[in-house]
Structures are given as structure tokens and as C-alpha cells.
Structure 1
Amino acid sequence: MTLRSLWIWLRYGRRQIYPWTTLAIAGWQWVVLCGLERDRAAIRWMATLVKIDGAKLTAFLNDLLW
């Protein structure tokens, strides 16, 4: 595998897991932080939750079950 193709796969992987990592980090910050930082983490968590495509997620879970 060349460096260029590896870079392409890394970019693809980052785009696929980006919302989930942000959701996990913001969720953890929402639990741990307090005050204004907690409010910002809650907003970041809710904004990321909106970005996740629910139809694709439902189709994926349906494929796993059946």
C-alpha cells in the first residue's frame, strides 16, 4: 500500500467515525465538567447527534438483526 492510498483510507475512516468520537467525547465532558463548559459540551453533543444520519443507522441495525 502506498502512502497516498493509506492517506485516502485514513481520511475515509476519519469521516466515518468523526460523529461518533465527537459524541463520545462531548458526552463524557457533559458528565464531568460543570458551569459554562458543561453547557457548551451539551450543545456540542446535541449538535453532533443531529449530524448522525438516522436512516443509515436504522438500516445498519436492521442488517445486523436480520
Structure 2
Amino acid sequence: MILRSLWVWLRYGRRQIYPWLVLARAGWQWLLLCGVDRDRAAIRWMSTLVKIDGVKLTALLNDLIW
């Protein structure tokens, strides 16, 4: 039962961290690549930025400040 609970938390954590990892990787590729690959990295970066929930991020930062 503990292993199953751990697996659920790992999946939840992966879903929360995944957009940030893609954002970091695409941003790095955007800086280094040229041509069509650079355009693809820019599109990937922008589409990932849209997927990040700004309201939750703002609420988290507000909780950290106060």
C-alpha cells in the first residue's frame, strides 16, 4: 500500500515539474540552435509557457511572500 501511495505522489510531482523542465530545455535549445530547429524550440517554449497556470503560480508566490 505504501508503494502505491508513493507511486501516486511521484506521478503528481512529475506532472507539476514537467512543464518547467520542458521550458528550461526548450529555452536552452532556443539559445543554441539555428534555423528550423531554433524555430521549433521557440514554438515549444511558447506553447509550454501557455500551459503553466499563471494563477496558481501567482498564488504560490503570494504565499511565499506573505
Fold-level similarity (TM above 0.5): yes
> Which contiguous aligned blocks of 4+ residues in structure 1 show a shift greater than 2 angstroms?
1-6
Q: Normalising by the residue count of structure 1, what TM-score does the alignment of the two structures yield?
A: 0.91
Consecutive unaligned residues of structure 1, counting only runs of 5 or more, are: none
Shift of 1:4: 2.3
Q: Normalising by the residue count of structure 2, what TM-score does the alignment of the two structures yield?
A: 0.91
AA in 2 matched with 1:57: L
Q: Does the alignment pair 1:63 with 2:36? A: no
| 1:9-61 superposed Cα distances (whole Å, 9 cap, x missing partner) | 21111001011001000000000111100000000000000001111111111
How many residues align? The count is 66
Q: How does 1:4-15 map to 2 (within 5 A)?
A: 4-15=4-15
Consecutive unaligned residues of structure 2, counting only runs of 5 or more, are: none
Shift of 1:63: 0.7
| Superposition CA RMSD, Å | 1.2
SS of aligned partner of 2:8: helix
Q: How does 1:1-66 map to 2 (within 5 A)?
A: 2-66=2-66
Distance 2:13 2:63 in 1: 21
